[in-house]
Each structure stands twice: as structure tokens, then as C-alpha cells.
Amino acid sequence: MTQRALSTPPRSLRLSVEGNGGSADRTFGAIGAGAAGALGLVLIGVAASVARVAWPSIEATGLSFVTTSAWDPSRDVYGALAFAYGTLVTSFIALALAVPVALGVAVFLTDLGPRRFQRPVSSLVELLAAVPSVVYGLWAALVLAPLLRTTVQPALARVGGPLFRGPNVGFGVLCASLVLAIMLLPTIASVSRDVLRAVPAELREGALALGATPWDALRLVVFPHARRGVFGAVLLGFGRAVGETMAVAAVVGSRADISPSLFAPGYTMSSVIANEFPAASSELHVAALAEVGLLLFVVTVAFNVAARVLVARSREGAPRWREAAPRPGAGEAA
């Protein structure tokens, strides 16, 4: 209501602030700025310290680190291509499986589902996100992988083709992709749900009042309006898939190979760090693993930045999310 008064506090008010608590206020500001700055430093620190540890490897291997896939710590041969390949393949398959289901869940929660189910389903989806990834890893290794070996993969092998052949041990790219898909689902579903909810109600009502079915309204009005944000949700999911470690490490098969078969064991960037870092002996081995980490950092940061920009933009104008909007706040006074 008093927009003007908020953005330009009255003079007397400002004077009284400085008069009463000037030095304490400066201390408060400094502590806060210090804490906030520490947070900014952490991010830079992550990049810098990973890069520092990785330096010997960057010097020793150069470009061949990302162009070759031979990884043999005992001979100090390091090429990370197979890890990058494994990460991308598992993440893409996981996304392909998770996105349709997650979007189905999201529209159930916002438009299509019966209202009395929406709240309980919403909490269950959030519960799905709360289960620690190491528990998914345990379940995938002891339940999902045997199931794949005995039932699913033999059936797929009958379909044939380059994707579905080779040794059938359960552990491998397919198993890792499946468990990743399960873990991405709640992320993509809940961010998409928020984005769809942020579409102004009057647009939905406008469509319904024209005789649209809820599905038509969703398809022709709501979704076009929210598509950027939904794309952001998918990118956010991809970022998570790339960084997910424990569940993948438990079932991916841990072999630095590039094979077209989904049954074949593979490796991902995060899981090789998890498996080898604690036991890494030589300095170059540690450095090479850190360089894998650096690669991982660059990829996830790029995806996260892109995703957040998209999601924030599509939420603009919705009252619940004020992130992107400049706020006339008391903050400007000082």
C-alpha cells in the first residue's frame, strides 16, 4: 500500500537509525556480510581447491585426459572419457525414463488429479526425495540388480539390438540409469509442480470458461506459459543425475569401458571418485580423480545456472516467488 514510503524511508527515520545504533549496526552488517561472503567464498573455494589438487594431473595428461578412456592407476595412465561417457549415458537414459512420469505426476498434482489425492501424493513424492541415496544404492544392488538379471534383461535380450546384448550380470548401465530415474523423479516432479502452480489462475479460468476441458487448458494455455520453467526443472534434474554418487556407485559395475550395450558395466565421474579416492595411493592418482571432479563441477554448475535462470524467469510475476523481482525493501536504506 505504501510502496513509495517503503522504497524511500523518511529522512527522520534514517537519522534515528544512525543516531541510536550506528556502530552496532555496522557490526551487524559486517557479521552478516562476512557470513554471506563466506558462502560465496565456499563456491570459489570449491573450484580453486579442486583445481589445485588436480593440477599435477592437468600438467601430466593435458588434453588426452578428456580424449582417451584408458584408466589404469597402477601404470599411472589416466583418461576420463569413459567416465564422462558413462555419466552422460546414464543421465540421459534416466531423464528419458523420469521426465514423462515426473510431468505426469506434476500435472496430476496441479490440474488433472482429484483434489483429495493431491496433498497426500505431494507428501509421498517429497518422501521419495527424502530417502538417502545410499539406501537407494543398497536396494538397487540387492533387489533391483538381481531382478534385472533374472527377469528384465533376459526379456530385453530377446528384443535384441546393440543396446540389449552382452553379459547379463544385473549390475551395469541399465541398472544405474533406472535407480537414477527413480531418484530424479521427485526433483523434476516437484519443481514442475511449482512452475505449473505459478501460472496465474485467471489464465486457467479463462480457458475453462471458453469451454476447454482441464486437459485442453493444460495443453494449450498452461503448458505453453510454463514450458521454460518445466525445461528448467528437467535441466535441474539433469544436474542432479550427473552429480548423483552413492546409488550409482553401488550398481554401475565400475569398469572404465565405453560399450553401446546397456547391460555392460560402466563407470561415472562421481562414482569413480567415490570408489577410488579413499584408496588412492599415488599423488597423480589423487590428482587425476580431482580432475574428474573438476570436470564434474564445471558440468553441474553450467546446468544449474541455466536451470535456475529458466525457473526463476518463468516464476516471475507469481506472488509466491519473488526471487527475480527487484524488491523495494528496507535493505536499500543502508
Partner 1 sequence: MNDSVDRLRARGARVEAVEASAKMSAAELSAWFGDKQALRSITLPLIERKVTAIIGPSGCGKSTFIRCLNRMHEVVAGARATGDVLLDGKSVYGADVDPVRVRRRVGMVFQKPNPFPTMSVRDNVLAGLRLSGIDPPDTDALVEEVLGQAALWDEVKDALDRPGGALSGGQQQRLCIARCLALEPEVVLMDEPCSSLDPIATAKIEELIHDLRDRYTIVVVTHSMQQAARVSDYTAFFYLGELVEYDHADVIFTKPSDPRTEDYITGRFG
Partner 2 sequence: MTPELESAYRGRKLAARVAPAASGAAVVLALLPLFAVFAYVASHGARALSLTFFTEPVGVRGAGMANAIFGTIELVVLASAMGIPLGIAAGLYLAEYASTPLARAVRFSADVLAGVPSILVGVVVYAVVVVRMKQFSALAGAAALAVVMLPLVTRTTDELARAVPDSLREAALALGAPRWRTALFVVLRTAAPGIRSGCLLAVARVSGETAPLLFTAYNNRFFNESLLDPTSTLQVQIFTYTMTPNDDWHAQAWAAALVLVTLVIVLNVLARRLVAEEESG
Among 143, 209, 210, 220, binds partner 2 (CB under 8 A): 143
143 touches which of partner 1, partner 2, none (CB within 5 to 8 A by kind)? partner 2
Instruction: Count the residues in the chain.
Output: 334
174 touches which of partner 1, partner 2, none (CB within 5 to 8 A by kind)? none
Q: Which region, judged by CB under 8 A, interacts with partner 1, from 58-66, 82-90, 125-133, 195-203?
A: 195-203
Q: Which region, judged by CB under 8 A, interacts with partner 2, from 118-126, 158-166, 226-234, 255-263?
A: 118-126
167 versus 206: smaller Cβ distance to partner 1? 206
CA 141, CA 176: separation in Å to the nearest integer? 10
Q: With beta carbons less than 8 A apart as the criterion, state whether 89 and 263 touch.
A: no
Q: Rounded to 5 degrees, what are φ and ψ at 170?
A: 90, -55
67 to 86, contacts with partner 2 by CB under 8 A? none
Binding status of residue 216 toward partner 1 by CB under 8 A: yes
Binding status of residue 316 toward partner 1 by CB under 8 A: no
CA dihedral 230, 236, 237, 243 (to 10 degrees): 170
Q: With beta carbons less than 8 A apart as the criterion, state whether 80 and 295 touch.
A: yes
The nearest distance, CB 31 to partner 2, in angstroms, is 6
| DSSP conformational letter for 73 | G
Cβ contacts of 194 within 8 Å, gap of 6 or more:
315, 321
Among 77, 152, 157, 274, binds partner 2 (CB under 8 A): 274
The nearest distance, CB 232 to partner 2, in angstroms, is 12
Over 242-273, what HEC string results?
Answer: HHCCHHHHHHCCCCCCCCCCCCCCCCCHHHHH
| DSSP conformational letter for 112 | I
Binding status of residue 202 toward partner 1 by CB under 8 A: yes
Binding mask 291-320 for partner 2 (x = CB under 8 A): --x--xx--xx-xxx-xx------------
Among 45, 162, 200, 224, binds partner 2 (CB under 8 A): 45
60 to 119, contacts with partner 1 by CB under 8 A? 115
Binding status of residue 209 toward partner 1 by CB under 8 A: yes
Residue (of 314, 301, 275, 300) closest to 197 by Cα position: 314
The nearest distance, CB 205 to partner 2, in angstroms, is 17
Binding status of residue 32 toward partner 1 by CB under 8 A: no
Cα distances from 85 to residues 45, 68, 91, 257, in angstroms, run 27, 11, 10, 9
Among 70, 96, 142, 210, binds partner 2 (CB under 8 A): 142
Binding status of residue 277 toward partner 2 by CB under 8 A: yes
CA 148, CA 93: separation in Å to the nearest integer? 16
Binding status of residue 121 toward partner 1 by CB under 8 A: no
The grid cell for 220 is 494449450
Among 84, 191, 207, 250, binds partner 2 (CB under 8 A): 250
The nearest distance, CB 258 to partner 2, in angstroms, is 22
In 13-87, DSSP assigns E strands to 71-72, 77-78
Q: With beta carbons less than 8 A apart as the criterion, state whether 151 and 204 touch.
A: no
Binding status of residue 203 toward partner 1 by CB under 8 A: yes
Residues at the contact surface with partner 1, assessed by CB under 8 A: 115, 200, 202-213, 216-217, 220-221, 224-225
